[in-house]
Amino acid sequence: MNTYTARVLRHTMERWNSEYALVLDEAHASNLQRTRLLSPLAAALNGFFAVLFLWMALSASDDDPAYRWKFWQLLTHTGMGAALALCAWACRPLEHRHRSLAGRWLPVLAMAVCIVFAMLITAIDQWVTPAITPFFIACIVTSLTIYLRPHVAAALFGVAFVLFSTLIGMTQHNPEMLLSNRLNGLAVCVIGFCLSVLMWRKFTTIAVQKHQLEKAHTELQLKQRELERLTRQDGLTGLFNRNTFVELSTNELKRAKRQGSATTILLLDLDHFKRINDTWGHPAGDAVLRHVAQTMVNSVRSTDLVGRLGGEEFIVLLPHTTAEASRKIAEKIRQRLEVSDIRWEDKRIAVTASIGLAGTTAEESREFDSLYTEADKALYLAKQRGRNRVI
């Protein structure tokens, strides 16, 4: 049972440490922002108390037994306000540097300043009251304001109790009151530490969940983009698939009509492609299709559309291109395929293609289906007349 408990505790601590490393930067940034916003408010409150004690000290008579208490409270609140104002001023240039040494530890320093001055105020209060309210408020408020890792919180509140016990003993001379205050101070430090740990765990849990949601959202976006790509592109060659090509070509033809420019379609079919699959196998056929696709993309402009209709049939849309210019492009594609044998298992596979070409001008205003039908007829003629040619 002990071994199992130890293993569970070790696993929990390892998980917590990995989570702490993940959220530490966010904690530093949040601490710095809170210190920058809350320190001026606390300094202003101390300034109000300092003015109040100054007025009380100035209006007190010479034989006022509480004069010493008022005077030292005036000094303490003035010093605390000045220290917190200095912390607020130091936070401003560190707004975007929370990873720096100063950015990480300045909020902890501000927290320690609050607790130390609260000890002094509490110790001075012992001259007139046995209450430890200022120390209690400082420990609770700071533990709820600044995110501290458990070991840092343990060190801070441990040192705070030692200092508190020492300072309270200098001004509270009633043994029973002193013991009661020290026990209460211990309880306050334990409560402050527990609250600090709870706040840190709550922050860590929320931050980790936020990271997980962001990661899941990013992965979902990537999968969505991949799905969109798969629905628009041919999985083997990466070219536009039939539906996408028809959609984009229809839009291009409408644009060409508005701009008064010519458009041409090239319909390409590999010669005797079935022999390649039968002789070399389908993996070799896939390699040939990828090679043809890459050759076509490299032979046209970036503004031209290249798609795979299915099987060994490819199609190209050439915007702003006359039929004569398109014939030259088609010949370039055909020649490049003819001379670029594909290496497969230490042997070479020869590839040729037949190409049918059909074009339109803005005045003719032909639809995609009409152009495709004419290009298909031209491709059929190219096959009839011996293949490996442009018609």
Q: What is the pLDDT of residues 343-360, one digit of tens each?
A: 888 778 889 999 999 998
1 pLDDT exceeds 60?
Answer: no
63 pLDDT exceeds 90?
Answer: no
Confidence of residue 293 (pLDDT cuts 50, 70, 90): very high
Does residue 78 contact residue 46 with C-beta atoms inside 8 Å? yes
194: left (phi over 0), alpha (psi -120 to 50) or beta: alpha
Mean pLDDT of the region 199-215: 86
Name every residue whose Cβ is closer than 8 Å to that of residue 291 and which is 6 or more positions away in sequence: 340, 342, 351
Query: What does the block give as tokens for 260?
Result: 């008064």
Query: What does the block give as tokens for 327?
Result: 């014939």
Query: In Å, what is the CA distance from 376 to each residue of 69, 70, 231, 353?
Result: 103, 102, 25, 14
Query: What does the block give as tokens for 199?
Result: 């706040």
Query: What does the block give as tokens for 314?
Result: 């490819």
390 pLDDT exceeds 70?
Answer: yes
Parallel, antiparallel, or unpaired for β 347-349 and 342-344?
antiparallel
d(CA 356, CA 385): 12
pTM: 0.62
d(CA 351, CA 333): 12
Mean pLDDT of the region 353-374: 88
Query: In Å, what is the CA distance from 206 to each residue of 19, 202, 263?
Result: 11, 6, 57
Give 334-347 pLDDT, tens digit per residue: 999 999 888 888 77
Instruction: Write down the pLDDT at residue 6.
Output: 62
329 pLDDT exceeds 60?
Answer: yes
Q: Where are the domains of the chain?
A: 2-218, 242-384
CA atoms within 13 A on the CB side of 249: 27
Instruction: Write down the pLDDT at residue 26.
Output: 86
Instruction: Write down the pLDDT at residue 211.
Output: 83
97 vs 207 pLDDT, higher one: 207
d(CA 6, CA 3): 5
Confidence of residue 327 (pLDDT cuts 50, 70, 90): very high
| 3-state SS, residue 49 | helix
Name every residue whose Cβ is closer than 8 Å to that of residue 157 and which is 6 or more positions away in sequence: 139, 189, 190, 192, 193, 196
Instruction: Write down the pLDDT at residue 2.
Output: 60
Amino acid at 83: A
Confidence of residue 116 (pLDDT cuts 50, 70, 90): very high
- Cα distance from N-terminal residue to C-terminal residue, the chain: 85
Mean pLDDT of the region 167-188: 93
Instruction: Write down the pLDDT at residue 126.
Output: 93
Mean pLDDT of the region 30-42: 90
Over the chain, what is the mean pLDDT?
88
Instruction: Write down the pLDDT at residue 95.
Output: 72
CA angle 301, 304, 305 (to 5 degrees): 140
Helices in the chain by DSSP H: which ranges? 2-59, 67-91, 101-125, 133-145, 150-171, 175-232, 242-259, 273-280, 282-299, 323-339, 368-384
Name every residue whose Cβ is closer than 8 Å to that of residue 194 and which is 6 or more positions away in sequence: none
355 vs 210 pLDDT, higher one: 355
d(CA 160, CA 111): 11
d(CA 250, CA 261): 14
Instruction: Write down the pLDDT at residue 332.
Output: 94
Mean pLDDT lowest for which of 60-64, 190-194, 268-272, 282-286?
60-64
Rounded to 5 degrees, φ, ψ at 343 are: -80, 130
Amino acid at 6: A
d(CA 320, CA 332): 18
Give 214-272 pLDDT, tens digit per residue: 888 888 888 887 777 667 888 888 899 988 889 888 888 888 888 888 999 999 999 99
Does residue 280 contact residue 273 with C-beta atoms inside 8 Å? no
d(CA 346, CA 352): 20
Mean pLDDT of the region 8-32: 73
Mean pLDDT of the region 37-59: 91
Query: What does the block give as tokens for 126?
Result: 């012992």
Confidence of residue 333 (pLDDT cuts 50, 70, 90): very high
Confidence of residue 7 (pLDDT cuts 50, 70, 90): low
d(CA 168, CA 161): 10
Q: Look at residues 218, 190, 206, 217 and name the one whose alpha carbon lies nearest to residue 30.
A: 206
Confidence of residue 11 (pLDDT cuts 50, 70, 90): low
Asked: is 242-384 a CATH 3.40.1190.20 domain? The reply is no
Instruction: Write down the pLDDT at residue 98.
Output: 67
Q: Strand order of the sheet with strand 353-360? A: 305-310, 313-319, 263-270, 353-360
Confidence of residue 16 (pLDDT cuts 50, 70, 90): low
Q: H or E segment at 234?
A: none
Instruction: Write down the pLDDT at residue 268.
Output: 95
Tell the burial category of 274 from Cβ atoms under 10 Å away from its Cβ (0-12, 13-18, 19+).
exposed
Q: What is the dihedral of CA 90, 94, 99, 100, to 10 degrees?
A: -60
